[in-house]
A and B are shown apart, each in its own frame.
Chain A
Amino acid sequence: MRLPALLVAAAAVAAAQTAEIEFFERRIRPILVGTCEACHSSRVAEPMGGLVVDSRDGLLAGGASGPALVPGSPDASLIMRALGYLDPVLKMPPTGRLPDRVVEDFRTWISAGAVDPREALTSDAPAADEGSGPGTSIEEGRRWWAFQPLKERVAPVVSDPDWTLRKIDSFVLAGLDRHELQPSPGADRRTLARRAYLDLTGLPPAYEELENFARDDAPDAYPQLIDGLLRSARYGERWGRYWLDVARWAEDHPTSEATNRPFAFAWRYRDWVIEAFNKDIPFDRFVRMQFAADLMPGFMPSDMRALGYLGNSPVYHKDRRLSRDVIETIASDDWDERVDAVTRGLLGLTVACARCHDHKFDPITTEDYYGLAGVFASVWPANRPVVRLDAERAAWLTRQHERLYRLKGVYGNLQDLDTVAEELHAGIVAMKPEFEALEHELGPDETPMTPAVVDWGVWVDGSTPTVTRMDLRPGQPRDLPVFVRGNVANPGKIVRRRFLSVFEPGGAAPFEHGSGRLELAEKIVGEAGPLAARVWVNRVWGWHFGRHLVRTPSDFGTQGQMPTHPELLEDLAARFVQNGWSLKWLHREIMLSAAYRQSSRANEAYQSADPTNLWIWRMNPRRLDVEAWRDSILQASGELNLAMGGPSAEVDSDDPARRTVYSKISRGRLHPILQLYDFPVATQHSPVRQVTTTPLQQLFVLNSGWMQARGRSLSDSVAALSDRDARIEALYRRALGRDPTDGDIALAKAYLDEREAQIGREPWDEYAHTLLSANELSFLN
């Protein structure tokens, strides 16, 4: 019988294959993923040497030096020469030879034919397969580069060691070397100082400050400048605002109906953030405080403001006349928003994708999702006191404020009695005297309160057919069921509140304390700390350079971009953690580098070789964001009021004209000026600000009363000077921080003369307005 024999043979082959595959999975793939793919992957923008190792085809095809792999012949395989450090030039990985055991594993694997199951995987179309398991198993997912422990890297050998000023520079120059590019010359001193001022404080330097710096030839003048700016209170106003983008902070809710009216004291969180940046609170502590300052040792009552990160989250209106399922869907949308903001914002992971099905590409399951969502179903927003009170009084105040807010909300929602079932009328009517009494009781109380959270589990009570209630249970956390396909009407297995299993190789232990918010924060900066550090360092890099190393700053998963400079990111993140998660350390490290100090001038040849400046051959020129632009104009016109903190004012108010960070931020009705200038909509986390340049912005610049008023103030400030040249000079110094050139003066005079001939006077207001409208003021080089 031939057939059975064949089958036996086939089965034997299959068994052998299985063993080979297992060998590959255990010994080879982890090395390829963890050690090689950061530079040699089809997901890297430009894989080094043209080699990709994330598929068998990639290894067989090889790179610039030829095929990497000859199955069956380890000695003929280039990869063995590289791994064995047998070649004088080609030594991989560049950070040091792998242990002999690993090199031997590769030899064994290649000798046995280099069985590699990945070719089968890549030829499938897994993305289209709805409802299948995760795109990658948790086990396999743990090997993803971004989840690995952080390790300081050895600075690579570079073509021009003299250029390097900080360790960063070696990595940047190595990248430039590989692409046969050279760094740009350093920026001139005035440009560099303006860059540093705007970068760290969001305000341009005054003319005198610039001149002093330009004349100061002390070798440490620049580091001194950076240190001085880092000590300025203006620093927290600039960098705190960046965090507020990540934290999707605003002062109201997307729609602001009766049940989700704005919180009165949302600005207290903004002020806390600014103070935290100025104090350089270590980033890991900064994160923990925002989840659970009240539960941490050394808690000060003013730290309560940190809880605004959660307490001020966007909330959707819940019309109590709707059915339980509809209300629970809206509540679960609220929780989803928190999961999304926290995981994309802090971890660069799109966990919210796992609400309806296991994540299709990253090692995140639906149970992981509901394990996290449960934490947010176990907290409830409430105002809490920011001054020291005895615990009982504090709890009482919190309860009364919460009750008042909720009663007024429900009453506002249901007060039109014609629309509500009759049996509810008496209860609704009774609410009014109750909340009026509460208002009366709390009215004289002047305890400052701040939006925070309390550990109250949230359930939805549909037991009365005509009205749906929020059932809040103080001290009782809620473990959520998996809502199958995201449908609250289809609850599945209950999931204990816990962290993402990919970070918990020993199994994710359930959270034990209250809602679990402190434990969640501990996990984010602990077990997931290496990832959180990478994500944060990448964001900070992006704010300094105008472009990120990982160009998807809120997606470090497999669908995100790979870093352009993996070693640089690893090294910088590792040293950031070693240096106590100090942001000010990180600023210094970046800003003192030669890479940062480069000129931003374009170079035609490089512009075509690397148009998006992937390899950092120059500083990126940038348009100022709305905060820095508006503040620059107000500083030039002499109207900027530097009072810090307190309630917000509209962005177009000019009495007093405070820094833009103190503007009112609305989720549903963002001020048109902020909308016009690309301010992010704070209904959810947004990874980066877009930069648009539209005619409607320019209509504002050319025609708005606000801009014209700034021109008048600026021209008034020099009106006392009778000499025309002196006036022009003073205007240039105020508006652009420099002296006018002869050409500028000639242009100014030609304009003033021409206009005088037409209208009988020199239009200084108009001229000052024009200077404030110039590109020179709106852009950063």
Chain B
Amino acid sequence: MNRRRFVESLCGGLGSVGLAAMLQERSEAAANTPAGPHFAPRAKHVIFLFMTGGPSHMDLLDPKPALLRYEGQRPESVDLRTERMTGGLLPSPFEFRRHGQSGIEVSELLPNLAGIVDDLCVIRSMYTFNPTHTPARNLIHSGNIAATRPSLGAWISYGLGTENRNLPGFVVLSPGARGGDLWRSGFLPAEHQGTHFNHAETDPEQMIRYLRNDVLGAGDQRRQLDLLQALNHDHRDRVGGDSYLDARIRAMETAYRMQFEALEVFDVRKEPARLRGDYGETPFANGCLLARRLVEQGVRYVHVYYGPGQPWDDHKEINRNLRERCPDMDQASAALIRDLKSRGLLDETLVVWGGEFGRTPVSEAGDGRDHNPYGFTMWMAGGGMRGGIAYGSTDEFGFQAVEDRVSIHDLHATILNQLGFDHERLTYRYAGRDFRLTDVHGTVLNELIA
């Protein structure tokens, strides 16, 4: 805007930006898309439901009746080194039953997920490389135990770019702001780092830093911005054009519009009451619902953390804790799958569920379970994965993955594959070599792809 347009806008009322301008912005954004996929993608978006702390597979999705037979014993095969001291085998008190066409066994703790089990691709043979939270969490987020590499979401943002320039391509929903170390861009350009929002809040103004101007209303702010842009254009005319100058002028406009777009998009209260009822109204439910709204608006990757801290880290009183924690997780996760499906979004959205590891079949402190990197369960849904399948298995007690073992790198390779990337070719040159999310590992799980 030049001075004349500024003066016109002062005379002509609100300089609001119309839908057409926003649409034009979006088509420009599409033209800026980076390298892009290597082959036709099955999925365009990922929602990762992260169960921080490591949920117990033996109580949820991997039934182990042998635990009861050997209760309290410690046969040689379970005498594995664990982070903490552990005792004998601890049976699960929860009943498992077969569900759906596929007949996959699911615990009574998860009635809603049991109802959609034919959409789930359950992997019972996951394993990881470190029994401690931080390194294991780094590994599942970035492919490496040290906190230095780019996060999965950053790789995806780097590979696919954003579909909507008014919103970040990589969104992190976490109640309580644990540091940005898990959603860092590492050596990838900083624009790919995850943008964190606190979904314990439902009011977007509470959720997004600096989203709201406490001093000026929208119209007044538009005037201030028009003045600023007039100064910026004068400056540009004086010193000569430059891409940085233009970029900041554009970013100012986007920021201004984002205030209103975000107010709309981030507000789950705008959903019909019945749908909110389906999800529930807990923070995690709001996160799942918000994830769907963001994906609809073109966000590439949404990482939803279940609760602050490490809620699934049940070193003691695990049975009581699971009874408290499972209902809303189960209800909201299942509602998300159903909701995506009914909107035709499940085909293009890959949903991934799991934690940094599982839990031990042997007890800790009598009624708890320790960290288990040797074997655990995750599930995926949509995004071109097969539904109604239970893949791989752990040993008879659920301690170690034994059949069709799947590493974190395999999981990453598969996620990238569904987005149209050959994980060996999605690279970034840094410190003298080409880095990959999967380093020198990773095999795509072709058997699990529809």
Q: Mark A548-578, 1 if CB is under 8 A from B, else 0.
A: 0000001101011000000000000000000
For window 578-620 of A, CB contacts with B under 8 Å fall at 600-602
CA distance A781 to B242 in the complex (A): 10
The verdict on A18 contacting chain B, using a C-beta distance below 8 Å, is no
Query: Given the complex, which residues of A lie within 8 Å of B180, measured CB to CB?
Result: 669-670, 675
Q: Mark A690-702, 1 if CB is under 8 A from B, else 0.
A: 1111111111111
Nearest chain A CB to B150's CB is how many angstroms away? 11
CA distance A743 to B316 in the complex (A): 72
Nearest chain B CB to A604's CB is how many angstroms away? 9
Chain B: interface residue total (CB-CB under 8 A): 75
The verdict on A148 contacting chain B, using a C-beta distance below 8 Å, is no
B228 touches A322 (CB 8 A): no
Q: Mark A654-690, 1 if CB is under 8 A from B, else 0.
A: 0000000000000011101001001001011011001
Closest residue on chain B to residue A359 by CB atoms: B432
Query: Given the complex, which residues of B lie within 8 Å of A703, measured CB to CB?
Result: 210-214, 259
Query: Given the complex, which residues of B lie within 8 Å of A690, measured CB to CB?
Result: 189-190
Query: Given the complex, which residues of A lie within 8 Å of B224, measured CB to CB?
Result: 702, 766, 769-770
The verdict on A637 contacting chain B, using a C-beta distance below 8 Å, is no
The verdict on A319 contacting chain B, using a C-beta distance below 8 Å, is yes
Query: Given the complex, which residues of A lie within 8 Å of B81, measured CB to CB?
Result: 323
The verdict on B247 contacting chain A, using a C-beta distance below 8 Å, is yes
The verdict on A774 contacting chain B, using a C-beta distance below 8 Å, is yes
A419 touches B148 (CB 8 A): no
B244 touches A702 (CB 8 A): no
A559 touches B432 (CB 8 A): yes
B245 touches A254 (CB 8 A): no
The verdict on B407 contacting chain A, using a C-beta distance below 8 Å, is no
Closest residue on chain A to residue B233 by CB atoms: A775
* A554-B431, A702-B252, A779-B244 given; A419·B231 CB < 8 A: no
| CB contact between B240 and one of A322, A602, A699, A778 (< 8 Å): that residue | A602
Query: Given the complex, which residues of A lie within 8 Å of B147, measured CB to CB?
Result: 254-255, 668, 683
B228 touches A773 (CB 8 A): yes
Binds A, one of B56-64, B67-75, B127-135, B271-279: B127-135
B235 touches A775 (CB 8 A): yes
Chain A: interface residue total (CB-CB under 8 A): 86
* A419-B84, A621-B244, A698-B248 given; A322·B431 CB < 8 A: no
Query: Given the complex, which residues of B lie within 8 Å of A781, measured CB to CB?
Result: 239
Q: Mark B426-445, 1 if CB is under 8 A from A, else 0.
A: 00000111000000000000
Closest residue on chain A to residue B249 by CB atoms: A775
B130 touches A326 (CB 8 A): yes
Query: Given the complex, which residues of B lie within 8 Å of A321, measured CB to CB?
Result: 83-84
A743 touches B248 (CB 8 A): no
The verdict on A268 contacting chain B, using a C-beta distance below 8 Å, is no
The verdict on A316 contacting chain B, using a C-beta distance below 8 Å, is yes
Binds A, one of B2-10, B325-333, B352-360: B2-10
A333 touches B146 (CB 8 A): yes
The verdict on B236 contacting chain A, using a C-beta distance below 8 Å, is yes
B241 touches A694 (CB 8 A): no
The verdict on A220 contacting chain B, using a C-beta distance below 8 Å, is no
A774 touches B251 (CB 8 A): no
| CB contact between B179 and one of A352, A668, A702 (< 8 Å): that residue | A668
The verdict on A313 contacting chain B, using a C-beta distance below 8 Å, is no
B239 touches A601 (CB 8 A): yes
The verdict on A705 contacting chain B, using a C-beta distance below 8 Å, is yes
Nearest chain B CB to A353's CB is how many angstroms away? 6
The verdict on A284 contacting chain B, using a C-beta distance below 8 Å, is no
* A319-B83, A319-B132, A683-B148 given; A344·B431 CB < 8 A: yes
A672 touches B209 (CB 8 A): yes
CA distance A352 to B130 in the complex (A): 22
The verdict on A396 contacting chain B, using a C-beta distance below 8 Å, is no
A754 touches B223 (CB 8 A): yes
Query: Given the complex, which residues of B lie within 8 Å of A669, measured CB to CB?
Result: 179-181
CA distance A330 to B139 in the complex (A): 14
* A323-B81, A678-B190 given; A623·B248 CB < 8 A: yes
Query: Can you list 9 pairs linking A and B with CB atoms under 8 Å apart?
Result: A333-B145, A555-B431, A555-B432, A621-B245, A622-B244, A683-B147, A697-B255, A747-B231, A770-B227
A601-B239, A693-B244, A774-B228 are known; give 16 further A-B pairs, CB within 8 A.
A319-B132, A350-B431, A418-B365, A554-B431, A692-B189, A692-B191, A702-B213, A702-B224, A702-B225, A703-B214, A703-B259, A705-B214, A751-B227, A770-B231, A775-B231, A775-B232
Closest CB pairs A-B (n = 7): A350-B432, A419-B84, A698-B255, A601-B240, A695-B255, A695-B254, A669-B179
